[in-house]
């Protein structure tokens, strides 16, 4: 019976398949095959033995069920895998399996292969999401809305700016992920404490050849494990990605609030139910799921950092948390990337509410513009600021349109006519360089994405 929600509720088939136990076993067997092949090339083990090991080192011959059965007795997963492979090898080939290696040579190198496959999927998801955001930015570069700071109405901005900002941030995550992969995905066949003692002078060459056969770079130095600062960096990159998706989800949730109502995630009114008690509810449940799962992903950072602190050449305290945080971080990050794409692809705009909110403060959001125009027409900046601030406070206290207060102010009249004030109060014409900034971001990132295609 399934217990963990990842088994039946969260995650994509593509990422889950990478972290399934059978695929993990297959990757470990691939490392054993590459090790035997490299050692045969260097005259360390017989070529016939290596050929047989390579032929049998896969899950077609070595079954996960048999490995688990052996592990019940050995209490050691790598030894169980070696014994299961040995059972399948004819002649004396089984005698040469795992020569000169330690368990974590196999585990960490296999894990590098899993990370490499995971990063490939994550990269694809991020690029897809960036492209969607760039498209949304371009389409909405002139969709004017109110910008908010501290939760309060500030100045007009555009939805194009929001989408472009998120695209730019995700592009940085793409760069971080690629950079991290270079350090994380390395091969390691260095022996029990990293000295190549069992392999002697041929150790460095074995490490190099095994890594090359698996499409990895050889580790420069290790003790008994690939150092966990690399793995901590990877988890931190995933946590950072999750924080951006949390930011997007939080913004959508806020903008969907009844009092705001500017955008909505898709809701199937024919089938979907928002509440078991309240028939009218249409909740932003997908955005909330993104925000909730991002908390779980970020929580793995602490364990990942602590896993770098091991006794001497290593202990096992990193092993148990890594069995949880590596697959879960990859699966959940991939999942919320896909959820974010689906939300944004079907995002609904309520232009009536966008316009209503733009004018909610009766023109107060144009105060900065009045100050700027007064200064442009000859009034001192500090004087202009005080006069306009006094007008704003009066507008709030007396619940009068800001335009009316400004228009009637005797000091302002000396610098601005009623017609000029009226023109200045249009929020749609006070978005600065927002469309140009959006265009620049779209053009720049589209060009940069070519490096990843």
Q: Would you name the residues annotated as active-site residues?
A: 150, 275
Residue with tokens 């079907």: 346
Give exposure, 366-401, as e/b (b: 16+ Cβ within 10 Å): bbebbbebbbeeebeeeebbebbeebbebbeeeeeb
DSSP code for 412: H
3-state secondary structure of 24: helix
3-state secondary structure 194-243: CCCCCCHHHHHHHHHHHHHHCCCEECCCCCCCCCCHHHHHHHHHHHHHHH
Question: In whole angstroms, what is the distance from residue 364 CA to residue 395 CA?
Answer: 8
155 contacts: CB under 8 Å, gap ≥ 6: 146, 147, 365, 368, 430
On the CB side of 6, CA atoms within 13 Å amount to 20
φ, ψ of residue 296 in degrees (nearest 5): -65, -45
């Amino acid at each position: 019976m399934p217990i963990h929600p990842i088994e039946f509720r969260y995650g994509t088939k593509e990422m889950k398949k990478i972290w399934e136990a059978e695929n993990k076993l297959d990757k470990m067997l691939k490392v054993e095959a590459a090790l035997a092949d490299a050692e045969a090339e260097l005259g360390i083990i017989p070529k016939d033995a290596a050929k047989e090991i390579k032929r049998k080192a896969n899950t077609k011959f070595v079954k996960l069920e048999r490995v688990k059965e052996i592990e019940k007795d050995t209490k050691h997963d790598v030894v169980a895998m070696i014994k299961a492979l040995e059972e399948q090898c004819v002649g004396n080939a089984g005698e040469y399996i795992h020569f000169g290696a330690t368990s974590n040579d196999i585990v960490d190198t296999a894990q590098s292969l899993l990370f490499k496959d995971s990063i490939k999927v994550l990269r694809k998801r991020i690029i897809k999401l960036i492209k969607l955001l760039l498209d949304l930015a371009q389409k909405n570069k002139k969709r004017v809305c109110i910008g908010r700071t501290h939760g309060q109405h500030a100045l007009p901005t555009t939805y194009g700016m929001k989408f472009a900002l998120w695209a730019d941030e995700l592009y940085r995550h793409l760069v971080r992920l690629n950079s991290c992969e270079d350090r994380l995905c390395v091969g390691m066949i260095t022996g029990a404490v990293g000295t190549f003692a069992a392999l002697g002078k041929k150790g460095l060459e074995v490490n190099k050849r095994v890594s090359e056969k698996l499409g990895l770079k050889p580790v420069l130095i290790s003790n008994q494990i690939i150092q966990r600062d690399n793995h901590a960096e990877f988890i931190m990159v995933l946590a950072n990605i999750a924080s951006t998706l949390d930011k997007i989800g939080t913004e959508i949730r806020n903008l969907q609030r009844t009092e705001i109502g500017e955008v909505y995630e898709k809701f199937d009114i024919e089938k979907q139910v928002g509440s078991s008690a309240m028939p009218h509810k249409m909740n932003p449940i997908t955005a909330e799921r993104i925000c909730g799962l991002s908390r779980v992903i970020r929580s793995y950072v602490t364990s990942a950092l602590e896993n770098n602190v091991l006794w001497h050449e290593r202990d096992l305290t990193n092993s148990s948390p890594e069995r949880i945080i590596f697959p879960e971080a990859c699966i959940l990050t991939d999942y919320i990337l896909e959820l974010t794409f689906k939300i944004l692809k079907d995002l609904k705009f309520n232009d009536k509410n966008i316009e209503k909110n733009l004018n909610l403060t009766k023109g107060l959001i144009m105060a900065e513009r009045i100050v700027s125009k007064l200064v442009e027409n000859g009034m001192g900046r500090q004087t202009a600021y005080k006069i306009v601030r006094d007008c704003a406070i009066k507008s709030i206290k007396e619940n009068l349109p800001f335009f009316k207060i400004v228009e009637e102010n005797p000091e302002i009249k000396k610098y601005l006519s009623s017609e000029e004030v009226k023109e200045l109060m249009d929020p749609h014409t006070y978005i600065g360089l927002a469309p140009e900034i959006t265009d620049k971001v779209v053009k720049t990132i589209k060009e940069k994405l070519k490096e990843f295609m």
